[in-house]
Structure 1
Amino acid sequence: MQFSKVITHDTSFHADDVIAVALLRTAGFQFEVVRSRNQALLAESLADPEVLVLDVGGIYNPLMLNFDHHQDASMMSAAGLIYEQFKDAICPADAQPFFGNFIASIDAIDTNRDNIFAVWNTLPRGFRNTSSIIGGFNREVTNSAIQDEQFQKAVKFSLEIITNEVYKAVKKAKSEAEYAKRTILSNNVAVFDEFSTVWKEKNEHTFAMLPHANGWQIQSIDTTVAKVPENISECDGFVFRHASGFMAVVKEKEVALAFAETL
């Protein structure tokens, strides 16, 4: 697909149109962004297979590069539609299920999927998510010049978020593949030669031993279930123990392993 122009709506912007543009940048496309609801421009752009129209226009037709979702409440947001179309250029295949969770969170907020606003209302008033933080870039919604400038700032910010989320997804995919290679001690403590980002999700071990920048760490799956005992401070090469007891670090692997076997 080739296009040199992206049309999206003007005035207030939301995470889905901002993230959608940032995803296209991440996929390597170079293009001009035009923010408008001018009906003549939209009609012309929707009919042009070399102009990508997103989050406006009332049509979803990937072959014509039309990616609106407002005409069907069951559809993903513009961010989800763009990601599904171009995901192979955005994220490695094995990491896509994990990065897809991030995109799903943008979709959920934009479309109130599963009545997510009711859940949001139960959280502290100061709680912010990716969508609300991106929405915070809006300024004077009646001033198109200011809004266009803020939109570009939001896209630049979102590019960094996407870079971080792709990185995390790749790491998680690697951890998922490596999980089966863990060593399991007789007391069911899991030992990982590389840091695992998935072991707590598996809910198969109360404690795990993993590499740390300062040596080797022992983690608890949840401090309401168990804590790393305070006597780890008596180990040779003890580095530190978090006050909550969720983790502690010692320098040498053999020392950490010996302690792990006592848990």
Structure 2
Amino acid sequence: MKRWRVKDESEGKLTSSELIVMAAKQIATHSGTFHADEALAVFMLQQLNEYKDALIVRTRDEAAIAAANIVVDVGGIYDFLRARFDHHQRGFNETFDANHSTKLSSAGLIYKHFGLRVIAAVLAWDLDHPRLNQVHAKVYDDFVEGFDGVDNGISQYPADLRPKYRDGTSISSRVAKLNPWWNQESNDAVLFNSFLKAVALTGEEFTERVKYTALAWIPAREIVETGLTSRKSVHPSGKIIAFDQFCPWKEHLHILESEHSIPEAEVPLYIIYPDETKKWRIQAVPQSPESFVSRKALPEAWRGIRDSALSELSEIPGCIFVHASGFIGGNLTRDGALAMAIKSLE
């Protein structure tokens, strides 16, 4: 058993309140205003067996920092062997890997060194699980890199207007709002309790992102890859993909086209798939996953026309609609949606 007392930084002495906790180890981070990166770093460490019962110490006292078993976001040292993970010191330029240029925060540092084990713990996977490395890389790109970019003050949109990193949850600003207002009471105890809320918030969203990536994103990729590689059985041009069920496909398709070296003349233009009502959709492939511009929109003459009028105009039975912008349409049957795609190729 260890006895931990909250330190009053402003007076430089211990308060009378004491917390008695069971803790074999200590995780140290800085006191005062907290941020999203160290909150997530602490949560990730808590998923590991060696730190799951560790005491969180928020301090800037050098002796307390030196006594901790692992230190994040304070101390001015990055040294994996010494379990020191600060990123504020002069000359620090560590990135996740050679393919990334975003400087790491404490969250990125912990994820870089412990992320595989953290993900395995969250998913109850073995470390040799065949999908583990893929989930690790994807979660960094979609979630953790945003913590690094925001905490290091890196512009998300540089000169070319392509986002340097993703920040789909704006979680750093929500963590910041958990700090006391400027005109509210603020002391070590208040900040510590608020910091625990930040750890829980970042941890909940991290866990959700890991599970989504492993259990939804990767299975969708497998569906898209099967559709891409078998597309010429749908139409000899290779420009139409048919899915037997809906799944998120845009990002996967663009990635897989590159991985499979699909020639420009054979890139898919249309996707057909069943919707939630068992009717069928035809969707034009966008120029990029985020783009609203289609590679080849559905025929202009069909746009904004519905039902029997559209069937008569297109000479295809079962038509339901074509959106006014031509990016999507519907038909009662798979054969009807396929016929719409084939005629749209002309």
The two structures have a TM-score, normalised by structure 2, of 0.61
Structure 2: how far apart are the matches of 1:79 and 1:20?
4
The yes-or-no answer on 1:95 pairing with 2:135 is yes
The corresponding residue for 1:201 is 254
Unaligned regions of 5+ residues in structure 1, if any?
46-50
Task: Check if 1:138 corresponds to 2:179.
Answer: yes
Distance of aligned partners of 1:217 and 1:6 in 2 relative to their CA distance in 1, 3 Å threshold: farther
Written as runs of structure 1 = structure 2, the 5 A alignment for 1:49-88 is: 51-71=69-89, 72-75=91-94, 76-88=104-116
Deviation at 1:261? 3.0
Which residue is 1:166 aligned to?
210
Query: Aligned runs of 1:161-240 on 2, under 5 Å?
Result: 161-170=205-214, 171-182=216-227, 183-184=230-231, 185-186=235-236, 188-194=239-245, 195-197=247-249, 198-199=251-252, 201-202=254-255, 204-215=267-278, 216-222=280-286, 223-225=292-294, 227=297, 229-231=303-305, 233-234=307-308, 236=318, 238=320
| Whole-Å separation in 2 of the counterparts to 1:150 and 1:84 | 26
Relative contact order, CA 8 A, sep 6+: which one is greater?
1
CA gap 1:199/1:135 in 2 versus in 1, 3 angstroms: same
Distance 2:61 2:79 in 1: 20
How far off its partner does 1:139 sit?
1.6
Deviation, 1:212, is 3.6
Q: Which amino acid aligns with 2:254?
A: E
Q: How far does the alpha carbon of each residue in 1:217-261 deviate from its partner, in whole angstroms, 9 at most, with x for none?
A: 3333344335554456456495x8777654455564444334333
Answer whether contact 2:28 2:58 (CA < 8 A) is retained: yes
Q: Which has the larger radius of gyration?
A: 2
Give the drift of 1:167. Answer: 2.9
1:53 CA drift (Å): 1.1
- My pick for the range that moved more, 246-255 or 176-185, is 246-255
CA distance in 2, matches of 1:259, 1:167: 37
Distance 1:246 1:135, change over 3 A: farther
Contact map agreement 2:26 2:56 (CA 8 A) in 1 = yes
Q: Deviations over 1:65-116 (max 9, x none)?
A: 2211112431311111111121222332222221110212211121234x44
Contact 1:3 1:52 in 2 (8 A): no
1:33 aligns with 2:56: yes
In the TM superposition, residue 16 of structure 1 has moved relative to its aligned partner by: 0.9
**SS state at 1:90 partner:** helix
TM-score (norm 1): 0.77
Alignment CA distance shift 1:178-1:42 (3 Å):
same
SS for the counterpart of 1:56 is coil
Letter matched to residue 162 of structure 1: F
Q: Cα distance 1:242–1:10, how it changes in 2: closer, same or farther (>3 A)?
A: farther
Checking the alignment, whether the CA contact within 8 Å between 1:73 and 1:111 is kept in structure 2 is no
Indicate how the Cα distance of structure 1 residues 162 and 217 shifts in structure 2: closer, same or farther if over 3 A, else same.
Answer: farther
CA separation of 1:251/1:133 partners in 2, compared to 1, >3 Å: closer, same or farther?
farther
Aligned equivalent of 1:44, options 49, 57, 67: 67
Q: CA RMSD in A?
A: 3.4
Relative to 1, partners in 2 of residues 1:253 and 1:169: Cα closer, same or farther, differing over 3 Å? same
CA distance in 2, matches of 1:245, 1:33: 55
Give the residue type in structure 1 aligned to 2:136: Q
When structure 1 is superposed on structure 2, of 65-74 and 173-182 the one drifting more is 173-182
CA displacement at 1:35 relative to structure 2: 1.2
> Per-residue displacement from partner, 1:108-134 (whole Å, max 9, x unpaired)?
121234x44867xxx9xxx97232222
The letter for the 2-side match of 1:224 is: V
Cα 1:232/1:168, change in 2 over 3 Å: farther
Which digits, 9 at most, give the CA deviation of each residue in 1:43-84, with x for residues without a partner? 222xxxxx2211111122223322111124313111111111
Number of the residue aligned with 2:41: 20
Write the deviation string for residues 6-26 of structure 1: whole angstroms up to 9, x where unpaired.
Answer: 111111111111111222234
Identity %: 26
Query: Of Structure 1 and Structure 2, which has the larger fraction of its residues in helix?
Result: 1
Residue 79 to residue 261, structure 1, CA distance change in 2 (3 Å): same
Distance 1:70 1:258, change over 3 A: same
Q: Counterpart in 2 of 1:259?
A: 340
